[in-house]
Amino acid sequence: MSRVYNFSAGPAVLPEEVLLEAQAEMLDYRGSGMSVMEMSHRGKIYDGIIKEAEKDLRELMQIPDNYKVLFLQGGAWTQFAAVPMNMMKHGKAAYIVTGQWAKKAWQEASRYGEAVKVASSEDRTFSYIPDCSDLDIPEDADYVYICENNTIYGTKFWQLPNTKGHDLVADVSSCFLSEPVDVSKYAVIYGGVQKNIGPAGVVIAIIREDLITDDVLPGTPTMLKWKTQADNDSLFNTPPAYGIYICGKVFKWLKKQGGLAAMKERNERKAAILYDILDQSRLFRGTVEKKDRSLMNVPFVTGDKELDALFVKEAEKEGLVSLKGHRSVGGMRASIYNAMPEEGVVKLVEFMKRFEEEHT
Ligand SMILES: *Cc1c(COP(=O)(O)O)cnc(C)c1O
């Protein structure tokens, strides 16, 4: 067996301990004589798995009792529609567009009501987070929407926008569980798990209870109505059962690492190793404003497309894979999620230094 350092933006690296545990339980889950993949989601064993996953997540994020935790499917994309369908009571919402994912969410919401773009950083290729301290938010907006960590561009909201009393909805797909969070500042926190938590196919939504009602837009599919899912504890239909089981293992792993405060410290240390070289290098440079840098996704370039391609290719030979930047940005992107060991970042930086010496 030979494992690489996988810098993919998603689906992404998972903790090796979790994969090994899943492997050990693959054929016979704790004496049940079957795999978790093979068992009924209505059975006692699976009920224990999903309940424990929720309990551990609540503990990790200190989720207040007046929030529901839903394990859903359909990717983050499906929530781009579910959010307006469940929340646009006045048919209006404010969107802050800081990247492709926020833009897609804004466009999708526009199909269901008036989605007002109240701020954007598209003028400079989404390389910064706009000042959101005093935005012109319509009085009757049902919510303010952000993508908290911009996976493609490598920026992060280090300060939440001033919503002027409106509910805040955040797509946290690529920064989920990377640091402690005050859930009470949000109305809805949701994200696909394939970036920082588990296998693709699961979306976790943490929703303030008063937002879960029968008062949804006409035509909302049964499956997309949050109340359907909440009333059935995420077991309305067959959930992405195996994926949720792996998420549960990752929650246990995170608790063992010391929880989210410990993860934040570790993630800051890892990111600093990479940002330090980008700040000093004669060849590589980061592509976003320093104050808005993400701890999870680190895009960088040499300024020469051919050299970028060569870097990606040669890095792969060293077991440093999936470093190619998103097609809309080019260059490189190192995603250094929770499960990326510090050693992987150190190896990458050592390789960058060697590459720089050979090519300057
Ligand atoms: C990857 C990503 C998405 C899209 O996720 P899907 O699960 O493929 O729909 C949306 N938002 C963010 C922030 C992402 O990183």
Count the neighbouring beta carbons within 10 Å of the beta carbon of residue 9. Answer: 22
Q: Which of 95, 155, 174, 176 to mutate to test the pocket of ligand 1 (most atoms within 8 A of CB)?
A: 174
Statement to judge: residues 196 and 284 lie in one domain: no
Q: Which residue has the tokens 């097609």?
A: 327
Q: Would residue 5 count as lying in a domain?
A: no
Q: Which of 60, 54, 115, 109 is nearest to 264 (CA)?
A: 60
Pull the structure tokens for residue 259: 């929880």
pLDDT at 133: 98
Q: 155 CB less than 6 Å from ligand 1?
A: no
CA distance linking residue 135 with residue 334, whole number of Å: 32
Taking CA atoms only, the protein residue closest to ligand 1 atom 12 is 173
Q: Would residue 10 count as lying in a domain?
A: no
Statement to judge: residues 248 and 266 lie in one domain: no
Statement to judge: residues 243 and 275 lie in one domain: no
87-98 burial, b at 16+ Cβ within 10 Å, e below that, comes to bbeeebbbbbbb
Statement to judge: residues 294 and 242 lie in one domain: no
Statement to judge: residues 46 and 174 lie in one domain: yes
Taking CA atoms only, the protein residue closest to ligand 1 atom 14 is 173
Q: Would residue 310 count as lying in a domain?
A: yes
Mean pLDDT by groups of 10 residues along the chain of 360 residues? 94 98 98 98 98 98 98 97 98 98 98 98 97 98 98 98 98 98 98 98 98 97 98 97 98 98 98 98 97 98 96 98 92 98 98 96
**C-beta separation of 296 from 252 below 8 A:** no
pLDDT at 108: 98
Q: Considering 191, 223, 256, which residue would you say is the last residue of a domain?
A: 256
Statement to judge: residues 211 and 156 lie in one domain: yes
Statement to judge: residues 251 and 283 lie in one domain: no
Q: Considering 237, 256, 275, which residue would you say is the last residue of a domain?
A: 256
pLDDT at 160: 98
- Mapping DSSP to helix (H, G, I), strand (E, B) and coil, where does residue 290 land? helix
pLDDT at 327: 86
Statement to judge: residues 249 and 264 lie in one domain: no
Q: Would residue 14 count as lying in a domain?
A: no
pLDDT at 328: 82
Q: 73 CB less than 6 Å from ligand 1?
A: no
Catalytic residues: 101, 171, 195
Statement to judge: residues 216 and 343 lie in one domain: no
Domain of residue 217, CATH code: 3.40.640.10
Contacts of 307 (CB under 8 A, 6+ apart): 283, 359
Statement to judge: residues 243 and 96 lie in one domain: yes
pLDDT at 1: 75
pLDDT at 192: 98
Q: How far is CA 138 from CA 6, 82, 83, 355, in A?
A: 43, 21, 18, 51
Q: Which of 276, 218, 247 is nearest to 338 (CA)?
A: 247
Give rounded-to-5 percent helix, strand, coil for the chain. 40, 15, 45
Q: Would residue 214 count as lying in a domain?
A: yes
Q: 151 CB less than 6 Å from ligand 1?
A: yes
pLDDT at 93: 98
**C-beta separation of 176 from 63 below 8 A:** no
Statement to judge: residues 86 and 203 lie in one domain: yes
Q: Would residue 15 count as lying in a domain?
A: no
**C-beta separation of 235 from 50 below 8 A:** yes
Taking CA atoms only, the protein residue closest to ligand 1 atom 11 is 101
Q: Residue 288 is part of which domain span?
A: 259-359
Statement to judge: residues 170 and 299 lie in one domain: no
Q: Would residue 18 count as lying in a domain?
A: no
Q: Considering 240, 256, 272, which residue would you say is the last residue of a domain?
A: 256
Query: Counting atoms of ligand 1 from 1, which one is nearest the CA of 150?
Result: 13
Q: Would residue 137 count as lying in a domain?
A: yes
Taking CA atoms only, the protein residue closest to ligand 1 atom 8 is 75
pLDDT at 312: 98
Domain of residue 349, CATH code: 3.90.1150.10
CA of 161 to the centre of ligand 1 (A): 21
* Total domains present in the chain: 2
pLDDT at 329: 84
Query: Counting atoms of ligand 1 from 1, which one is nearest the CA of 77?
Result: 9
